[in-house]
Amino acid sequence: MSNTKEVIAGAVAVALPLWVRAQDDTDRDLRNNRLDLRDLESELRACCNHGAMIRSKLAIAQDVGVGLALSNPKTTVPEILPTSTPYTRAVIGEDTINDYKYPPRVGNYLPNGALTEAGEMTRLALALAFQENRAWIEGFTLPGSPAPSVTAQIFSASRALSTVISGLTLSRSEWISAWKQLFESGLQAIGTPTIGNVNVANGVASVTPIGGATFTNRAMRIRVTASNVGINASTELATVTFSKPYQSVPAVVGSDGLVVTNVTTSGFSIQYTQAMLASQSRDFAIMVGV
């Protein structure tokens, strides 16, 4: 019995320091874990309270993200088989006109970030992803950084355009007509018409553009020179052919007795109401409009 007690006492004497050491290690690990958790909590709190994180949680910022996400060409969830349903582009209709407000109307989100109603910025971000808007914005950029004076010109032109537009009350069809007239008139001024079929037999030596003067499909100044026999009154002088045909028959007016005949979308003929003496020259102006 005495030997047994001595054996137990010896075992306890050997195990006790080992247990104490193990307990110390466990306590140290727990203490370190508590310190690590405290540090992690501080880091998480600092991250959640960071300005960028708070701003990203604002509804208006989430609206932009939703709009861009709608344009994402890839599925967010892996699929076993590729879907056969083609991605269709959303339509932004005229019903959005009365939806513009400032500040913009924001979407509604659940606590987990799920969207229940889209905001105005969602539609804007989606529209910016459309190819025509990307092409317009990228095409409007200059090859290099503009000088301050150039930037000021661009700003002034943009502000002037919005100022003029805001003072008008045109319908959609009227705006279409206005834009067509603007661009078609501008295109019509590009290029120069040609003068042909000069009626030499009627005493016309030449019909030519006046050097240095306007000579376009919209306006032109010409010089008529008679031959050595002169030109009789109301004689066919020449035919003018537009470099770019008009979509509809234009109105053409001549000056100083010059008469315009046979007007088509492609050109017109000219006559002079008076007679011209041999080798005499006369200058005329011609205006073309639609």
Q: Give the three-state DSSP class for 261.
A: strand
For residue 273, the tally of other CB atoms under 10 A from its CB is 12
Residue 239 counted as domain residue: yes
Question: What is the per-residue pLDDT across 216-225, written as a single tens digit (0 to 9) for each?
Answer: 998 999 999 9
Residue 140 counted as domain residue: no
Residue 9 counted as domain residue: yes
CB 237 within 8 A of CB 198: yes
CA distance readout (Å), 145 to 135, 151, 159, 218: 19, 9, 21, 36
Question: What is the per-residue pLDDT across 155-195, written as a single tens digit (0 to 9) for each?
Answer: 999 999 999 999 999 998 999 988 887 877 667 777 789 99
Domain that holds residue 244: 194-289
Structure tokens at 196: 């042909």
270 or 102: which leads in pLDDT: 270
Structure tokens at 237: 């002088």
Closest CA to 127 of 137, 140, 116, 117: 137
User: Given the structure tokens 């969207």, which residue do they identify?
Assistant: 115
Structural domains of the chain, count: 2
Phi, psi angles (nearest 5°) of residue 240: -105, 125
Residue 155 counted as domain residue: no
Residue 283 counted as domain residue: yes
Dist. CA 246–CA 288, nearest whole Å:
10
Q: What is the pLDDT of residue 81?
A: 57
Question: What is the per-residue pLDDT across 131-152, written as a single tens digit (0 to 9) for each?
Answer: 999 999 999 999 999 999 999 9
We report the CATH number of the domain holding residue 203 as 2.60.40
Q: What is the mean pLDDT of residues 195-204?
A: 88
Residue 265 counted as domain residue: yes
Closest CA to 223 of 283, 286, 287: 283
Of 13, 29, 49, the domain-final residue? 49
Q: What is the pLDDT of residue 15?
A: 65
Residue 82 clears pLDDT 80, i.e. is over it = no
The end-to-end CA distance of the chain, in Å, is: 129
Residue 180 counted as domain residue: no
Percentage of the residues of the chain whose pLDDT score is greater than 90: 42
Residue 128 clears pLDDT 70, i.e. is over it = yes
Residue 100 counted as domain residue: no
Of 49, 67, 87, the domain-final residue? 49
Of 14, 29, 49, the domain-final residue? 49
